[in-house]
């Protein structure tokens, strides 16, 4: 009986080793049709548009390096601090506006940017925009969500006064939840206190 138990345990151990040998690391794409899956061209292009979470695709980097356009058509490194300071998270057609600490009114030096954004909407009558209000991380989450909403609403009011139909403008507040810069310098804070304009 002892002999049969030993054979049974040896057989189980052998089978376990065989199964474990087939369980090595595998490369998995982030979603079906992602890079390396052998999917269609469209799926690989979708991968290149996810720049915030995953970085630009190899194709986008090659085009930029060769003087071509990346996903925004600018040829600039969209992950660089300089690019983020100038463009925030705006769609390429727009520019962000910035706010003073704990303030929600559009600053005088931001009026030319608001006019730039308004002119795009005026010249493209079917375009719709989402205004995203952001804050730095000082203050509570609840307070910053409310402040971000006031900032987005200020930009919306300005665009309405500029002649853009209210139905073409939506607002959302992210408060402190989506900082562009993670540092604690005044420059980092100043560039996190902004409205981004997203073409819908």
Tell me if 57 is assigned to some domain: no
Residue 196 domain flag: yes
Per-residue model confidence (pLDDT) at position 79: 83
Average pLDDT, integer, range 111-138? 98
Q: List the single range of 29-38, 139-148, 156-165, 182-191 with lowest mean pLDDT.
A: 29-38
CATH of the domain at 127: 3.30.1330.60
Q: Which range (35-39, 71-75, 111-115, 187-191) has the least confidence?
A: 35-39
Name which residue leads in pLDDT, 66 or 155: 155
Of 6 and 71, which is predicted with more confidence? 6
Q: Is residue 8 a part of any domain in this protein?
A: no
The answer to whether residue 13 scores a pLDDT higher than 90 is no
Please report whether residue 60 resides in a domain: no
Q: Domain range holding 133? A: 80-200
Residue 171's SS3 state is strand
- Average predicted confidence (pLDDT) for the chain: 76
Model pLDDT, residue 78: 78
Residue whose pair of structure tokens reads 């402040």 in the numeric block: 147
**CA pair distance 186, 145, nearest whole angstrom:** 20
Q: Which DSSP string do the residues of 33-81 spell out, in sequence order?
A: T-TTTT--HHHHHHHHT-HHHH---HHHHHHHHTT---TTSS-S-TTSH
pLDDT at 8: 65
With beta carbons less than 8 A apart as the criterion, state whether 178 and 136 touch.
Answer: no
Kindly report the CA angle at 77 between 156 and 120, in degrees rounded to 5? 30
Beta pairing, strands 194-199 & 169-175? unpaired
Q: What is the number of alpha carbons within 13 Å of residue 7 lying toward its C-beta? A: 4
Distance CA 158, CA 175 (A): 20
Q: What is the pLDDT of residue 145?
A: 98
Predicted pLDDT of residue 77: 75
pLDDT higher for 199 or 20? 199
Number of domains comprising the chain:
1
């Amino acid at each position: 009986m002892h002999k049969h138990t030993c054979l049974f345990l040896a057989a189980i151990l052998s089978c376990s080793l065989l199964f474990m040998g087939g369980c090595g690391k595998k490369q998995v794409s982030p979603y079906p049709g992602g890079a390396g899956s052998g999917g269609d061209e469209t799926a690989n292009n979708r991968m290149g548009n996810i720049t915030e979470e995953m970085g630009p695709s190899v194709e986008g980097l090659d085009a930029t390096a060769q003087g071509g356009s990346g996903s925004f058509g600018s040829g600039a490194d969209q992950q660089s601090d300089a690019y983020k300071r100038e463009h925030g998270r705006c769609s390429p057609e727009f520019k962000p506006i910035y706010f003073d600490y704990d303030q929600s009114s559009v600053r005088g030096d931001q009026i030319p940017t608001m006019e730039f954004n308004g002119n795009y909407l005026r010249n493209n009558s079917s375009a719709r925009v989402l205004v995203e209000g952001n804050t730095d991380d000082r203050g509570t989450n609840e307070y910053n969500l409310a402040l971000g909403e006031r900032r987005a609403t200020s930009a919306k009011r300005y665009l309405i006064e500029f002649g853009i139909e209210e139905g073409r403008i939506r607002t959302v507040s992210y408060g402190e939840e989506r900082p562009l810069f993670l540092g604690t310098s005044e420059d980092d804070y100043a560039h996190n206190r902004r409205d981004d304009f997203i073409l819908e």
